[in-house]
């Protein structure tokens, strides 16, 4: 069934207006910076359950920036016209969604429903930040958007994986039923300034351990792989997708860096980049931890003319500097 006619706004905005759910988080705050630099008026909605006002403190007082502390699973009402809704809200690290499984499921379901409802009522374009975790522990490598995944629905990671899979299904339902122009981005491992020190992800864990000359903890045999995309490249790819008008832009798009590293290789790179005296220690592999992770970015290259530009060595310089500064404050 073809999409129904897209709703139209009742009044035009004098400048583009973007609503960013989860805008006080690591990725959302970097998106806010870019949108403001491009002349948008930005409204952030965040309950700060994993985000921090520190990430957007430098934007306080700007007439084109507004922060609303609210849970996105509650009804979203804005008098303002809205052109774009960027749904970034969700716990996104293992520590967060293992401690907050119900909140994670609620933001992926109820939160996505409320954000889509806002886009529908305003006639706005909607973008969902999905994740490479929807592929689970993949049986296909590298992962293409056509792969349906290998996910343990009742495992400890299922709350996050399934919340995003449901969010994708709901987004496509609104696209087909209500004609909302929607975008789906599947984000692979991303790093950069504003990551939390102790959020359980590998970059802050390895970097903070290395800076402190503590043992670097590698899980399993360290031969599982990841690929790391600098946040500036990721946000560039996401904005290209949102503003892309091609008819196939509603389909999921992988955004990530296809350069693949084992965890042992990455640990050694962090030791080198920090000049650390840390040694590597091994711990048991967590349940359902993916053994391979690398995006096939052919669709992003063709549709968006995008591919990452920042090398790991280049991207680690400001990232390590950020973590040194944060650790110095503790």
Q: Which residues are catalytic?
A: 160
Report the alpha-carbon angle 175-180-186, nearest 5.
60
Q: Is the dihedral of CA 133, 136, 137, 142 positive or negative?
A: negative
Residue reference for tokens 């921090």: 52
Interior/surface letters 39-62, b for 16+ CB within 10 angstroms, e for the rest: ebbbbbbbbebbbeeebbeebeee
The SS3 assignment for 262 reads strand
User: Contact, 47 vs 67, CB < 8 A?
Assistant: no
The encoded tokens of residue 330 equal 């503790």
Q: Please classify residue 221 by burial: count the beta carbons closer than 10 Å to its beta carbon, then call 0-12 exposed, 13-18 middle and 19+ buried.
A: exposed
> Residue 242: which residues within 8 A CB-CB, separation 6 or more?
84, 86, 125, 127, 183
Cα 195 from Cα 178, distance rounded (Å): 36
State the number of CA atoms in the 13 A half-sphere of 72 facing the CB: 37
Q: For strand 260-262 and strand 225-227, is the pairing parallel, antiparallel, or unpaired? A: antiparallel
Cα 308 from Cα 33, distance rounded (Å): 19
The SS3 assignment for 203 reads helix
């Amino acid at each position: 069934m073809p999409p129904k006619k897209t709703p139209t706004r009742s009044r035009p905005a004098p400048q583009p207006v973007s609503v960013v759910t989860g805008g006080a988080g690591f990725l959302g705050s970097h998106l806010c910076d870019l949108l403001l630099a491009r002349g948008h008026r930005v409204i952030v909605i965040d309950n700060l359950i994993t985000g921090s006002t520190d990430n957007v403190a430098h934007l306080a007082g700007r007439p084109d920036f507004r922060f609303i502390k609210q849970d996105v699973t509650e009804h979203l009402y804005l008098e303002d016209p809205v052109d774009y809704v960027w749904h970034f809200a969700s716990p996104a690290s293992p520590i967060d969604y293992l401690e907050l499984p119900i909140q994670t499921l609620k933001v992926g379901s109820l939160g996505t429903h409320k954000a889509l409802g806002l886009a529908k009522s305003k006639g706005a374009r909607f973008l969902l930040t999905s994740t490479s975790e929807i592929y689970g522990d993949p049986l296909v490598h590298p992962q293409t958007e056509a792969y349906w995944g290998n996910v343990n629905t009742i495992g400890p990671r299922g709350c996050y994986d399934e919340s995003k899979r449901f969010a994708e299904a709901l987004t496509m339902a609104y696209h087909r039923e209500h004609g909302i122009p929607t975008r789906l981005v599947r984000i692979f491992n991303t790093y950069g300034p504003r990551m939390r020190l102790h959020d359980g992800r590998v970059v802050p864990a390895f970097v903070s351990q290395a800076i402190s000359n503590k043992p670097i903890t590698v899980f399993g045999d360290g031969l599982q792989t990841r690929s790391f995309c600098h946040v500036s490249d990721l946000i560039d790819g996401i904005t290209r997708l949102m503003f892309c008008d091609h008819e196939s832009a509603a389909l999921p798009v992988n955004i990530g860096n296809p350069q693949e590293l084992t965890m042992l290789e990455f640990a050694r790179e962090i030791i080198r980049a920090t000049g650390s005296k840390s040694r590597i220690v091994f711990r048991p592999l967590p349940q359902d931890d993916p053994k391979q992770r690398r995006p096939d970015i052919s669709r992003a290259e063709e549709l968006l003319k995008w591919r990452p530009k920042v090398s790991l060595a280049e991207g680690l310089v400001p990232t390590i500097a950020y973590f040194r500064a944060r650790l110095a404050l503790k």
